[in-house]
């Protein structure tokens, strides 16, 4: 017994030291925002240097005199980290590699790409693909309004069958819709024209970029937005894609009005100075061409069948639009497309630090 007592007396300081160490680790876990990291045996990292607080979130991006959001560099770095974590083969065509990012943009010398506290970064937490779907959904919704505004829409065979199937309730719904939305309303508020501009319906500069009367026109624009817009949104964030879409739409509308005012024939009717236009082509063109500027050697399929380097596809698109402007009287507005192309060129130049 005496030997056991002496052994316990010798071990008592060691046990007390271990108990004190356990209490210290428990306190660190309680006060650390990362309990598992706080329990590490490594010495704590030095406190970060004090910095000024980030500006508060804002519903609209503050004007910086720039086309690029100030936190794009941080978004690129985060995207590259995520891509490194989920690395995959790059030897695949466009349809399988649209989300790939490029190292060259993270090392851009543009100061705008190195900021990390721009208000736009807090404006939306919408996932990248959801932003693309939201833009596409807005375009589809306006297309439905065009269908409802058409008096012949309710007289189609399919609508008559649906009306019979629903017991006449569909006819009542369409009648109520037509009392609020008609073709005059859609032309005044969802088409861009010199007449609308002179009448100060300036919202049509943007609303026309969500407007399609033809299902084929809608499909082709949304097809391009989905594939190329998804890549841009995953690289730079959903807010960046939204800004790119809006800027492409606005400059495309401005280019179209300029063409109508100075280049179009001074006559009434189609092809004349007051020809109206609609469609998301300028906004989608800005998205497509920014992708092409970023990845000029990627393989794209022209008209879905002809494999070409992205740079050649971009040259074809811009050349075709220049030819449309020169020829005039085209049902496709080359000037609006060129407005979107200019937005893409300016954004890319700012990425590279050229402007």
Question: Residue 20 and residue 26: Cα distance in Å, rounded?
Answer: 10
pLDDT in tens, 37-60: 333 334 444 444 444 333 333 333
Asked if 240 and 75 touch (Cβ cutoff 8 Å), the reply is yes
pLDDT in tens, 301-349: 887 788 999 999 999 999 999 999 998 878 899 999 999 999 999 999 9
Is residue 337 among the annotated active site residues? Answer: yes
pLDDT in tens, 22-36: 666 555 444 444 433
277 — phi, psi (to 5°)? Answer: -145, 160
Catalytic choice (211, 253, 333, 337): 337
Tell whether the model's pLDDT for residue 136 goes beyond 50.
yes
Catalytic choice (99, 281, 333, 335): 281
Is residue 54 among the annotated active site residues? Answer: no
Q: Which of 155-164, 166-175, 337-346 is modeled with the greatest confidence?
A: 337-346
- Give 335: exposed, middle or buried? Use CB within 10 Å, 0-12, 13-18, 19+: buried
The residue ranking higher by pLDDT, 270 or 330, is 330
Instruction: Provide the pLDDT for residue 126.
Output: 63
The residue ranking higher by pLDDT, 120 or 139, is 139
pLDDT in tens, 197-231: 999 999 999 999 999 999 999 999 999 999 999 99
Q: DSSP H helical segments within the chain, as ranges?
A: 2-31, 35-38, 72-85, 103-106, 128-149, 157-165, 169-178, 183-190, 194-198, 204-207, 215-236, 238-262, 281-294, 310-327, 334-351
Chain-wide mean pLDDT for the chain?
Answer: 74
């Amino acid at each position: 017994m005496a030997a056991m007592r002496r052994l316990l007396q010798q071990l008592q300081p060691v046990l007390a030291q271990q108990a004190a160490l356990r209490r210290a680790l428990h306190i660190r876990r309680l006060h650390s925002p990362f309990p598992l990291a706080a329990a590490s045996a490594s010495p704590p990292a030095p406190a970060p240097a004090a910095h000024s607080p980030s500006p508060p979130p804002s519903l609209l991006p503050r004007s910086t005199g720039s086309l690029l959001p100030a936190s794009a560099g941080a978004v690129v770095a985060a995207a590259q980290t995520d891509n490194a974590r989920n690395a995959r083969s790059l030897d695949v065509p466009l349809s399988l590699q649209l989300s790939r990012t490029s190292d060259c943009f993270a090392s851009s010398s543009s100061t705008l790409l190195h900021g990390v506290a721009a208000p736009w970064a807090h404006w939306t937490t919408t996932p990248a693909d959801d932003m693309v779907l939201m833009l596409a959904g807005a375009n589809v919704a306006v297309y439905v309004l065009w269908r409802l505004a058409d008096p012949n829409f309710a007289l189609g065979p399919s609508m008559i069958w649906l009306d019979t199937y629903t017991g006449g309730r569909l006819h009542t719904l369409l009648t109520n819709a037509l009392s609020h939305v008609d073709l005059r309303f859609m032309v005044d508020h969802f088409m861009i024209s010199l007449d609308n501009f002179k009448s100060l319906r300036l919202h049509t500069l943007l609303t026309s970029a969500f407007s399609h009367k033809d299902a084929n026109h809608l499909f082709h624009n949304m097809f391009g937005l989905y594939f190329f817009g998804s890549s841009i949104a995953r690289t730079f964030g959903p807010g960046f894609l939204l800004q790119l879409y809006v800027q492409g739409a606005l400059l495309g509308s401005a280019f179209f009005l300029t063409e109508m005012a100075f280049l179009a024939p001074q006559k009434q009717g189609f092809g004349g100075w007051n020809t109206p236009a609609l469609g998301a082509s300028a906004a989608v063109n800005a998205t497509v061409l920014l992708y092409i500027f970023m990845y000029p050697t990627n393989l794209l399929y022209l008209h879905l069948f002809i494999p070409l380097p992205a740079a050649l596809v971009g040259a074809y698109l811009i050349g075709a639009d220049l030819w449309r402007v020169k020829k005039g009287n085209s049902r496709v507005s080359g000037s609006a497309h060129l407005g979107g192309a200019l937005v893409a060129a300016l954004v890319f130049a700012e990425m590279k630090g050229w402007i």
